[in-house]
Amino acid sequence: MLCCGRIAQRHAKFCGMSAPNPKISPAQGIIRQLDDAAINRIAAGEVVERPASAVKELLENALDAGARRIRIDIADGGKTLIRVTDDGCGMSPDDLPLALSRHATSKIDGSDLLNIHTFGFRGEALPSLGAVGRLSILSRAEGQEGAQIEVSGGTPGAVRPAAAPMGTRVELRDIFHATPARLKFMRTDRAEMQAITDVVKRLAMAEPHVSVTLADVSGGGEGRVTFRAEAESGDMFTALHGRLARILGRDFAENALPIDATREGVTLTGFAALPTYSRGSAVQQFLFVNERPVRDKLLIGALRGAYSDFLSRERHPAAALFVSCDPELVDVNVHPAKSEVRFRAPAVVRGLIVSALKHALAEAGHRASSTVANAALGAMRPEPAGPRVYQMDRPSAGARQASYQTQSPGFAEMAQDYSARIEPEGEAVLQETDEQTPPAETLPLGAARAQVHENYIIAQTERGMILVDQHAAHERLVYERLKAQMAETGVRAQALLIPEIVSLSQSDAALLLEEAETLARLGLTIEPFGPGSVAVRETPALLGEVNAEAMLRDVLDELCEGGTSATVQDRLEAVLSRVACHGSIRSGRRMRAEEMNALLREMEATPHSGQCNHGRPTYIELRLEDIERLFGRT
């Protein structure tokens, strides 16, 4: 019967018969003004999505107030209590009622919405919180008396005098009690607490000179501190490095490269990790615009593009990057949550991020992540099978020489060759013994001593040993050589016998033709062919036979999303990567000592040689003390 009713209703609609509209009843047809309580609850839905949103708004208010110490207390994942206490400038008793009015703020005067220097500016946070929960504000400004005001059900009470230190304490209890339907969409206490912790960490990164403490007070009392970041000292780079080490861990701090670049009034600072420190997801990507944490597609795409030459698609770079520019060059008034921004010159920002990160990675040379060695040591560490037997320290060279002399025949000749070294022959011996040439062991990747399983080179350094994957290392070297050749001679283009005509909208065609010069340098030649159409005359020869229309639409998507034509370049480099793979030293090939040493020297001189084209490490460094620890020689 229900299906028949729907069919009849559709039939009546298409036949012009009048059918009742289920969305508007006769009683609702009259336009009326909503009351303030309903308006605040509707606005609160945009600002306060979950407890983490409330914590974000209150924490930003504390930072805007100039607080140096902030404490956040959470109970039951923020569902029953959110309390933020700061030592900022505070509010006077006369300001408290006004702070609870919608669109009332001390941060802007409303004359220029493009010149915003604070986290908050909309004046919606406190009235929105008061509309969905039970809100209490206790504050005292310098030279003023302390005062307190409470809000229940969106209705503020009277201002009462109260004893308070300088600063502000905001308590939000029973969030969403005025909108119980929203409670059904909240997750577990643990998940909500994790979201709150993520918000606190992001804002703590933006302000490394501010102390931030997060505590879980679900059981009452002082509760349990789940996150603490004391104020860092030193300049901005030193303070940020210390704060990132505290939040992201020492491994990130050890493997992160400092970033500092400026272009056309836009500055990029922060730290980006080596490609071999990549993650399986984007959990360690933190992006800020004028110290405001954002999730912007342009910035994420630029970060991904900077590492596209070093990581496979399933790996993600780790970075904490801060974009700073004149507030008039970026619009933060895009969404009430202020997590999205719009740049006036997006191509400049994207180009700055890509070039600055690529430059930093190139300066890192052959350096690889230190966590690679730790993982190797962990894989080699045997399971404890009994009480540990400690040996004496490694003997000196003289003691070792005397020991060899007293042992059975044959050991004396091993005095200089106890590490099973492979001696070079001929001219290589003279070169190694030349007084002006430093010993190979003193070089970063040392001297080749052996090849095992026809794939791995063992080299000895002054402080340990190096294990090199010969195929992965040579693959990167060949790839960098091919890229250099392409940069010198340009990308050769192949002319199409019959130009391919691609029909587009007039706006898309205009956007492509604006970049025609850039595309021509990459071997893709286009020209106008009537309104809304583009003729493809030449395509990159390196790509062979391609679908010109599909390539052109990919380039157009890239231009619309990021403002640059990186798609063709990425595809060219992907082809170069495959060529380099097939042109590299294959696994299973035996190498002579001079070949292995030549490979090590070229790795030292080639940028990015610490990882292959897919982001995997090309070598592992094991320090002598780590090796001795494996054998209990500590």
| Share in percent of the chain as helix, strand, coil (round to 5) | 40, 20, 40
Q: How many other CB atoms are there within 10 angstroms of residue 532's CB atom?
A: 15
SS3 97: helix
Asked if pLDDT for residue 318 goes beyond 80, the answer is yes
With CA atoms as reference, report the closest residue to 213 among 200, 198, 199. 200
Could you tell me the pLDDT band of residue 246, with boundaries at 50, 70 and 90?
very high
Structural element, H or E, at residue 433: helix 427-433
DSSP 168-223: EEEEEESTTSSSHHHHTT---HHHHHHHHHHHHHHHHHH-TTSEEEEEE-TTSTT-
Q: Which residue has the higher pLDDT, 65 or 435?
A: 65
Mean pLDDT calculated for residue range 535-544: 80
DSSP state of 381: P
Tokens standing for residue 107: 């941060």
Q: What percent of the chain has pLDDT over 90?
A: 23
| Structural tokens at position 405 | 């002399």
Note the pLDDT of residue 17: 46
Q: What is the pTM of this model?
A: 0.68
- How high is the pLDDT of residue 209? 93
Confidence category of residue 7, pLDDT binned at 50, 70, 90: very low
Residue 20's contacts (CB-CB under 8 Å, 6 or more residues apart) are none
| Interacting residues of 565 by C-beta distance below 8 A, sequence separation 6+ | 515, 518, 519, 522, 555, 558, 559
pLDDT at position 200 is 95
Of 65-74, 401-410, 494-503, which gets the smallest average pLDDT?
Answer: 401-410
pLDDT at site 230 = 94
Dihedrals φ, ψ of 297, to 5°?
-65, -35
The pLDDT assigned to 466 comes to 87
pLDDT of residue 421: 45
Comparison of pLDDT for 629 and 18, the residue scoring more: 629
| β 493-503/525-528 pair status | unpaired
- For residues 367 and 187, the model is more confident at 187
At residue 632, does pLDDT exceed 90?
no
| CB environment 43-53: b (16+ within 10 A), e (fewer) | bbeebbbbbbb
- Does 13 score more than 70 pLDDT? no
User: Could you give the percent of the chain with pLDDT greater than 70?
Assistant: 71
- Chain centroid to CA 564: how far? 20
Domains of the chain, CATH where assigned: 37-224 (3.30.565.10), 236-364 (3.30.230.10), 441-634 (3.30.1370.100)
**Confidence (pLDDT) at 282:** 86
Q: Sign of the C-alpha dihedral, residues 49, 50, 53, 55?
A: positive
Q: Check whether 237 has a pLDDT greater than 70.
A: yes
How many other CB atoms are there within 10 angstroms of residue 376's CB atom?
16
Q: Residue 209 contacts by C-beta under 8 Å, 6 or more apart in sequence?
A: 68, 231, 232, 239
Q: With a cut of 60, say whether residue 588 has pLDDT above it.
A: yes
Among the ranges given (73-87, 349-363, 427-441), the one the predictor scored with the smallest mean pLDDT: 427-441
Task: Answer whether residue 387 shows pLDDT above 70.
Answer: no
In this prediction, residues 100-117 reach a mean pLDDT of 60
Going by pLDDT thresholds of 50, 70 and 90, the confidence category of residue 410 is: very low
pLDDT exceeds 90 at position 541: no
What mean pLDDT comes out for the span 398-410? 51
Span 58-70, average pLDDT: 91
pLDDT at 147: 93
Q: For the segment 176-230, what is each residue's pLDDT rounded down to a tens digit?
A: 776 676 777 788 889 999 999 999 999 999 999 999 999 999 987 788 999 999 9
Taking 70 as the threshold, does the pLDDT of residue 412 lie above it? Answer: no
Which stretch of DSSP H or E encloses residue 533? strand 533-540
CB 306 within 8 A of CB 257: no
pLDDT band at 542 (very low <50, low <70, confident <90, very high): low
- pLDDT mean over 528-539: 89
Average pLDDT score over residue span 84-112: 76
Q: What's the rounded mean pLDDT across residues 155-161?
A: 87
DSSP class of residue 615 equals S
DSSP one-letter code for 276: G
pLDDT single digits (tens) 277-316 = 888 888 899 999 988 888 888 899 899 888 887 887 778 8
Look at 61-70, 164-173, 332-341, 472-481 and tell me which has the smallest mean pLDDT. Answer: 332-341
**Residue among 243, 239, 213 at smallest CA distance from 87:** 213
Does the pLDDT value for residue 9 go beyond 90?
Answer: no
For all residues of the chain together, what is the average pLDDT? 78
